[in-house]
Amino acid sequence: MIRRPLRAVTVLAGAAAAVTAFATPASAAPALNEAAGPAVLAAAQQKLGDSLGAAFAGSWLDTATGGLVVGTTDASGSARIRAAGATPKVVRHSAAELKKIQSTLDNRTAGLPGSVAGWYVDTPANEVVVSVVGGDAAGRAWATSAGVPVRVDQVKSAPRPLWAVIGGQGLYFSGGACSVGFNAYDDDDHYVITAGHCTELGGTVRGVDGTIGRVERSSFPGNDYGTVKVTHSDVSTPPRVDRYEDGSDVRIEGADVVGVGGRVCRSGITTHWRCGRVEALDQTVNYGNGNIARGLTQTSACAEPGDSGGSFVSRPESGSGTKLVQAQGMTSGGSGDCDEGGTTFFQPVKEVLNRYDLTLEKD
């Protein structure tokens, strides 16, 4: 039986009186506020918007009282708004006018300065706002030269796309491809845990949507674990594992160990979501060429090259709702394949958590 690490080498979640005194008049509708719930509020907003027609200027919840406020450019519509249970506010611009101003900006993106972080309708203020990083002169000039009334707000930084590192998804090194195990943190930083024979490649590490950071620590042979320090601010590290075509992501709840005979599942970029049973604990595995790893767990879940480092978790319970699982370890190596079946070993995650004083990410 050939045993090997599973790195794919490439080139690359008084009462009666009080009630009478304060009773709502029969002619008035119940007050519309946050407690009414989204569905009731949405229906009321739609009905008032249709009723007010061109004078409608949007609606919003008062952050101090939670009450629904409805804007109108025609004061004669105020009685209608009160009768519906909302508070009227007479403003200058209708919702349609504000949208037209926003559209004017939308159509002027050619030559847009990078310091312009974006623009939006501030409905309570009845204004269109342009956000400019640091109050940059070029950004302010672009906003004020559009020929439409806008408010320029200064923001500290520009927005950026955010993407998540999910267990079982791809992890790419300069000389090979592996899979994400688990996300963890200490007092100062966030890390991605994977297999040590993957992190021994060192250097900068990428994920499915861009650069994550650099290899921080690596232990192989002897052990088979390593960490990648997350250094890019656009990367989030949720406690989730990808089940690919088998269903929605599962969420890591803890790291209780599944014993011999227990069911486990693993995730990786090559063979995706595969399940099996734990066959042995604390096994020493010889990968050849002096590469011996100790303390591994043997399973009947198959895996193939590229799945290395990927998440091993307790099998999720059936039923609806978010599936909660216990983190077990990171795929290390094995024999056979997923066509004919095989044996796969994983490095228990508790060892690396204890060794580096890390805590698994939580929602």
Q: What is the pLDDT of residues 103-155, one digit of tens each?
A: 999 999 988 998 999 999 999 999 999 999 998 999 999 999 989 999 999 99
Phi/psi at 247 (5° precision): 145, -175
Query: CA 310, 313, 318, 319 torsion: positive or negative?
Result: negative
Q: What is the pLDDT of residue 19?
A: 34
Mean pLDDT over 327-354 rounds to 96
Mean pLDDT over 316-331 rounds to 86
Confidence at 1, pLDDT banded by 50, 70, 90? very low
User: Per mean pLDDT, which range of 20-29, 64-73, 87-96, 166-175 is the poorest?
Assistant: 20-29
Q: Give the residue, 341 or 157, on which the prediction is more confident.
A: 341
Q: Does pLDDT of 314 surpass 60?
A: yes
Of all residues in the chain, the percent with pLDDT exceeding 70 is: 91
Closest CA to 266 of 190, 180, 339, 352: 180
What gap in Å lies between CA 174 and CA 196, rounded to an integer?
Answer: 15
Mean pLDDT over 319-341 rounds to 90
323: left (phi over 0), alpha (psi -120 to 50) or beta: beta
Domain 95-155 CATH (choose: 3.40.50.10190, 3.30.300.50, 3.40.309.10, 3.90.1330.10): 3.30.300.50
Q: What is the pLDDT of residue 201?
A: 87
C-beta atoms surrounding 363 within 10 Å? 10
Please report, for the chain, the start and end positions of each structural domain, with discontinuous segments joined by +.
Answer: 53-91, 95-155, 163-363
3-state helix, strand, coil in the chain (%, to 5): 20, 40, 40
CATH superfamily of 163-363: Trypsin-like serine proteases (2.40.10.10)
Q: What is the mean pLDDT of the chain?
A: 90
Q: What is the pLDDT of residue 13?
A: 32
Please state the pTM of the whole predicted model.
Answer: 0.68
List residues with catalytic annotation. 197, 224, 308
